[in-house]
């Protein structure tokens, strides 16, 4: 006796009862609500360049993320979109500045705030090593809590 049709129906009923369903494509990706905030960043320029540190603010506006990072008193603004990476089929955030772009992984920290780790490249340049950046949320730091 072939039990495959019953097994398929049972599995479908189980998944439906667990509330598992496809995400609504009209809903914004969860990263758009997870990422806004204030961050400390550390980085390294491509091809063995020097390390640097700064601050950043991420906002969700106009269906995209706006990242304003400040390094040595100079602020630059990027626009970010959540995209699906073809390698590993993972969701990433791609930021674009004039002259360079970054691809970032998003993970939660122990306080449920988002951390980003990014590779970045100057547009039109074949780097031997990418630039690196890591963003750490500052909301729970002493002196920053309301």
- What is the domain-level CATH number for residue 63? 2.40.128.120
Q: Which residues pair with 122 in a beta bridge?
A: 100
- Predicted local distance difference test score (pLDDT) of residue 145: 59
- If one counts the domains in the chain, the total is 1
Q: Which residue do the tokens 């049709």 mark? A: 5
pTM above 0.85, yes or no: no
Residue 54 domain flag: yes
Distance, in Å, from the CA atom of 122 to the CA atom of 12, rounded to the nearest integer, reads 48
Report which of 56, 102, 47 is spatially closest to residue 76, judged by C-alpha positions. Answer: 56
Residue 103 domain flag: yes
Beta strand extents in the chain (DSSP E only): 37-44, 51-61, 64-71, 74-84, 91-97, 100-108, 114-122, 131-137
Contact (CB, 8 A) for 95 and 112: no
Q: Tens digit of pLDDT for each residue in 59-106?
A: 999 999 999 999 999 999 999 999 999 888 899 999 999 999 999 999
- Predicted local distance difference test score (pLDDT) of residue 115: 94
Residue 59 domain flag: yes
Residue 5 domain flag: no
Of 92 and 27, more confident: 92
Distance, in Å, from the CA atom of 50 to the CA atom of 90, rounded to the nearest integer, reads 30
Residue 144 domain flag: no
Residue 85 domain flag: yes
- Predicted local distance difference test score (pLDDT) of residue 109: 85
Number of alpha carbons in the 13 Å side-chain half-sphere of residue 79: 5
Report which of 103, 135, 127, 124 is spatially closest to residue 48, judged by C-alpha positions. Answer: 127
Which range marks the domain in which residue 122 is found? Answer: 24-137
Residue 124 domain flag: yes
């Amino acid at each position: 006796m072939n039990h495959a049709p019953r097994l398929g129906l049972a599995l479908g009923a189980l998944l439906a009862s667990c509330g598992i369903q496809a995400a609504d494509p009209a809903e914004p990706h969860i990263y758009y609500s997870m990422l806004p905030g204030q961050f400390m960043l550390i980085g390294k320029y491509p091809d063995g360049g020097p390390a640097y540190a700064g601050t950043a603010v991420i906002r969700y506006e106009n269906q995209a993320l706006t990242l304003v990072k400040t390094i040595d008193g100079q602020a630059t603004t990027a626009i970010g979109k959540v995209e699906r990476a073809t390698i590993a089929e993972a969701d990433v955030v791609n930021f674009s500045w004039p002259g360079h772009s970054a691809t970032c992984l998003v993970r939660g920290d122990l306080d449920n705030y988002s951390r980003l780790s990014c590779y970045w490249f100057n547009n039109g340049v074949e780097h031997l090593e990418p630039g690196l950046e890591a963003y750490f949320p500052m909301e729970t730091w002493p002196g920053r809590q309301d």
